[in-house]
Chain A
Amino acid sequence: MARTSAASPARAFMNSSDRDKDTPSRNEPPAQQMARRLIKSNRSQRTEGHTAARAAASACDKLYRELSRWVGPDGCHALFTRALAQARIDHPALEPIQLHARSDPYIDGVAETIIAHGDPATAAGLEAMLVHLIELLGRLIGDDMAMKLIERSVAASERGDPTSDRREEA
C-alpha cells in the first residue's frame, strides 16, 4: 500500500480515491484538480478499451510535448523524472514506469504496470506523478504561471490534437 504523509498531495489523492474522479472537489489542491482535468480531457477522447491508466499516461505524454515546447525536452524530462521519483514513494506500483526523453510516447512500461498492479493503481500512480510535477513547476516558476502552461496542454487535449497522441499504438 502506498505510504503517504498526512499533508501530502498524495494523501489528499488517496483520501479521495473513492469519489468520482471526474468531478473536481473544492477541497482538492489546485494541482490535483489540474491533473484530473488533464486526465479527463484524454479519457473523454478515448474509445472502448481505453483504461484510466492509459488516459493518465496519454495526459503525461501530451504534457511532456507541450511543456517541452516551453522549457525544452531536457528541462521537461528533468521535471518528470523528479515527479516520478516523488510519486514512487507513495505508489510503488510505478516501479516499471520509464521515461524516455525526446521519444513518443514519452512514458514507457504502462502496459506492464497495468498487468502487474492493475489499472486503478497504475492510474493513481500516474495521477500522483502529474500532481507532483504541477506542484514542482509551481514552486519553480510560480503557481499561476505553472497553471497557465499546463492549461495550454489541457486546451490542446480538449481540441483533440490528432498528432498529439500515440498512446493507443504503444
Chain B
Amino acid sequence: MSGNGQDRAVIRSLPSGVPGLDTVLGGGLPEFSFNLIAGGPGSGKTTLAHQIMFANAKVERPALYFTVLGEPTLKMLRYQRQFTYFDPELAGSAIQFINLSAEVMERNLTEVLQRIVSEIEQAKPGIVVVDSFRTIAGQQRPDKASAFDLDQFVQRLALHLTTWEVTSFLLGEYAAEEQRNPVFTVADGILWLSQATDRNSVVRKLQVVKARGRAPMPGLHTFRINDDGLQIFPRIPEQTRNRAPSKRERLSTGVPGMDEMIGGGVIAGDAVMLTGPAGSGKSTVATQFMIAGLSAGETGVIAVFEEYPEEYIARANARNPEVGTMIKEGKLAVIYLRPLDLSVDEALFAILEAVDRLGAKRVVIDSLSGFEVALAPTFREDFRESLYRLVGTLTATGVTVFMTAEVSEAFSEARFTTEKVSFITDEIIVQRYIEMEGALWRVMAVIKMRGSDHTHQFRLYEVTSKGVVVGGSLTEYDGIITGVPTLRAKPTKAKRGK
C-alpha cells in the first residue's frame, strides 16, 4: 500500500444501455454495485432492468434474471421481445432467466438465498436481476419463518452479490413512504421510477435517490418508453457544454430590409424572438432566416410545433424549392414535436441531438406558443424556467436561436411580447397590424437589441410569394402603436414594400 491513494480500488462504470441514464448517473453504473429499481406498477422497472442486462451480458460473463411471482415469465418475455434491444440470440447463453416461484412459495428466505447463490456460483454472472424482489419479502409466511429475517436476508444477499463481483438490481414496487425498508439502507444505488397523471397527460420520471461513489444529476428526469426501451431526458443538459465564444458576427435574416433594421443582422449566438398576431408572417420570416444560413453554407434545425413537418416543408418549398434538397442533403433537419405530453428536456434533447448531428449553426423554434401547448400540463407551470434552460443551453453551444411567438391582441391594444418569455431573449422584433386608408397593413419594429444599435421606427412590410419584404417607415404618422395611425403633416401615400 503506498498510502497515496494510488492503490485504492477503482470503481469502473458499466454503460447502462439506456440513452441519457449514464449522464444522469454521473458516468454509468458502478461495477459490482447493489442497486434497487423501485417504482409503482407499470413504471418501467422491468424494461429498465432488461435494457441494462442486454447492454452488459456476455457469454463469458452472463446475466441471470431471477423472476419471482410478479409478472409471469412467459408474458414478460413475450412483451420484452417487442423491444429492439432484446436480442434472442443472447437468451439462453449470455442471459439466463431463472424462475424462483417454487422456492418462494414453498420454502423460506434461507432457501431462496441458497438458490440464488447456487445459480451465481454455477454461472459466474456479471449482472444479476431479481424481479420482483418485493414479492420475495411479501410471500414469507409466519409459519415458514426462516432462520433469519428480511434484514439479514438483504444484508447477506448484498454481500454474496458483491463478493461474487456482480452488479445487481433488485426490482420492487415501493411507495415513497416505504423508504425505511432495509433494502434502501443496504443498496448502493436507488433508481426511482414514477408516472404522474395530470389532467389527461401522463409524465414518466426517474430520480436517482442514491448513488454511492457517484455524483448523479439531482432532480427528476423525464423519460419515455418507446420501441427502443427507456429514453431518459436529463433535466440539466450535459455540463460539459460550455458557451462557445461569440465572435459577435452578424448573420443575415434573409429578409430584405430587416438586417438594416437590426444594425446589420442578427448577432451570432443570440436568441431572437419574433412576436406577432396570427397571420403576420412570423413563420415566413423564421424560414427565411434559416434559408439565409443554408445559402451561406451553414446547417440548421427547425423545430415545429404548430403544423406537421410535411406541411411546413411544403410551404417552405413553395417559396424556396431548395428546402427539400437541403433536408435530403442533411443540411437541414425539421423536427416535429407535438405530442401534448412533452417535457422541455425531451424537446431540448431532440433539438440538441439534431444540432450535434448536423453541426447546426441556426435553430428555429416555431413557435413558443405551440411549444407551450405541446408540453404536459405539469411543465406548463414552469414554462419560464424551462424555456430559460432550453434557450440557455442552445445558445451555450454557439447556435443562434430564432423563436417565434404569437401574441393575441385587441386591435387597438399593442402587446409587444409575451411577458412570460421576453427576458430570455437578446433580440425582440414585433409585428402587428394597423389600419390605414381603409386597409389592413402590417408593420414591424425592433424592441430589444442587446449590445447593438437598431432602428426605432415602425416599418411597413409585406408577405409576398417570395417571403417577407420590409418597406418604408411611417414617419408622417402618429399613433401607429394604437393600430390606427393618423397623418401628422402633409399627406403622403404609404408605400408598401421597397
Contacts and interface: CB of A to CB of B under 8 A. Distances in A.
Contacts of A148: 88, 91-92
Contact of B72 (A68, A69, A71, A149): A71
A141 interface: yes
B73 A72 contact: yes
B139 to A, nearest CB: 13
The bracket for how many chain A residues form the interface is 20 to 34
Given A72-B67, A72-B72, A141 B78 contact: yes
B297 to A, nearest CB: 49
A148 B50 CA distance: 18
A75 B73 contact: yes
B315 interface: no
B102 interface: yes
Interface in A64-78: 68-75, 78
Interface of A is mostly: helix
B99 A72 contact: yes
B81 A73 contact: no
Given A140-B78, A145-B81, A73 B102 contact: yes
A142 B82 CA distance: 10
Given A148-B88, A148-B92, A149-B92, A75 B78 contact: no
A69 B99 contact: yes
B102 A72 contact: yes
A141 B81 contact: yes
Interface string A65-93: 00011111111001100000000000000
B92 A79 contact: no
Given A141-B74, A145-B81, A74 B92 contact: no
Contacts of B74: 71, 75, 78-79, 140-141
B73 A70 contact: yes
B314 interface: no
Contact of B101 (A73, A145, A151, A152): A73
Interface string A83-121: 000000000000000000010000000000000000000
A167 B295 CA distance: 80
B77 A141 contact: yes
Interface in B274-305: none
Given A71-B73, A72-B101, A102-B102, A151 B67 contact: no
A14 to B, nearest CB: 29
6 contacts: A70-B99, A75-B72, A141-B77, A142-B81, A145-B77, A148-B88
Interface of B: 67, 72-74, 77-78, 81, 88, 91-92, 96-99, 101-102
Given A69-B98, A140-B78, A141-B74, 20 more contacts: A68-B99, A70-B96, A70-B97, A71-B73, A71-B99, A72-B73, A73-B99, A74-B72, A74-B101, A75-B72, A75-B74, A140-B77, A141-B77, A142-B81, A144-B88, A145-B88, A145-B91, A148-B88, A149-B92, A152-B92
